[in-house]
Chain A
Amino acid sequence: MLSCKEVTHLLSEGLDRKLTVVERVRLEMHLLICGGCSNCRKQMDFLRSACRRYVAKHTRDDDGAR
């Protein structure tokens, strides 16, 4: 089974490259039973949306009000 530390790396890399099928299956199996890593995934996804929102807010005419 993947360790939590390995999962943190896969969660981050999943935002930067397409994970392989094997990686995804192992990741999902781990997330099913690990609350800390499930929280970690939500936080990683949140960081991505917060960055997108920050950029929209400061650089676009519509002020990112979406």
Chain B
Amino acid sequence: MTDAFDAEYLLAIRQDMLRFARLQLRDDAVAEDAVQEALAAALDGRKEFAGRAALKTWVFAILRNKIVDTIRERSRSVNVSALSAEEEEMDQTFDRLFKPNAHWQPDQGPAAWGDPEAALGQEQFWAVFEACLKHLPANTARVFMMREFLEFDTDEVCAELQISTSNCHVILHRARHGLRRCLEQTWFGNGAASC
């Protein structure tokens, strides 16, 4: 049997891990540490791990825990609820999409994206998607990615980051609309609809 932990394969996985950790942690050095620790833990546990079949899935499960630990530690010193200038600007941009009666401005409503699922098969789309994620303010992105990438329940996200449920919803809404707008402007094009 070949060793599942051959260096070349681990190096390839390491690149994916770094990319994933950087997106979520927004700090290259911190991401590097999380990846190193996850790889070390994976190597320590290699005896219990039988076969290469799901090595990547397994290593990423370890990385997920490391990322959560890092976010949890960070949330003790950083107030996730505090709004940055970027986040305030996002909220103002969002508000400008609406008329005073809170319905869409005639040319500002979300557009029809046709068959967006088709984009999922295109590498170029994923580059745009990553760029849009990186464009989100750091705290907003962390909450969003904890929910959507690490697949935590909203209650767990709120508890881990010590923010209220309603604030959690506000942050996730901000993230989703930021992403939605970014994808619309950079990939799916115009064709805005109001009511």
A9 touches B102 (CB 8 A): no
For the complex, would chain B's binding face be called helix, strand, loop or mixed by DSSP majority?
helix
A40-64: CB near B (< 8 Å → 1, else 0) gives 1011101111111111011111000
Chain B interface size, as a band, is 35 or more
Hey, which chain A residues are within 8 Å of B60, CB to CB?
Answer: 59-60
A58 to B24, CA, bound (A): 13
A61 to B169, CA, bound (A): 32
A16 to B183, CA, bound (A): 21
Hey, which chain B residues are within 8 Å of A37, CB to CB?
Answer: 104, 109-110, 195
Which of A42, A48, A58, A61 interacts with B19 by CB under 8 Å?
A: A58
List A13-55 residues whose CB lies under 8 Å from chain B: 13, 15-17, 33-37, 39-40, 42-44, 46-55
A28 to B55, CA, bound (A): 44
Q: For the complex, is B176 an interface residue (Cβ under 8 Å from A)?
A: yes
- Nearest CB in chain B: distance from A4 CB, A: 5
- Nearest CB in chain B: distance from A15 CB, A: 8
A8 touches B195 (CB 8 A): no
A39 to B181, CA, bound (A): 12
Stretch at the interface among B39-47, B77-85, B146-154: B146-154
Q: For the complex, is B8 an interface residue (Cβ under 8 Å from A)?
A: no
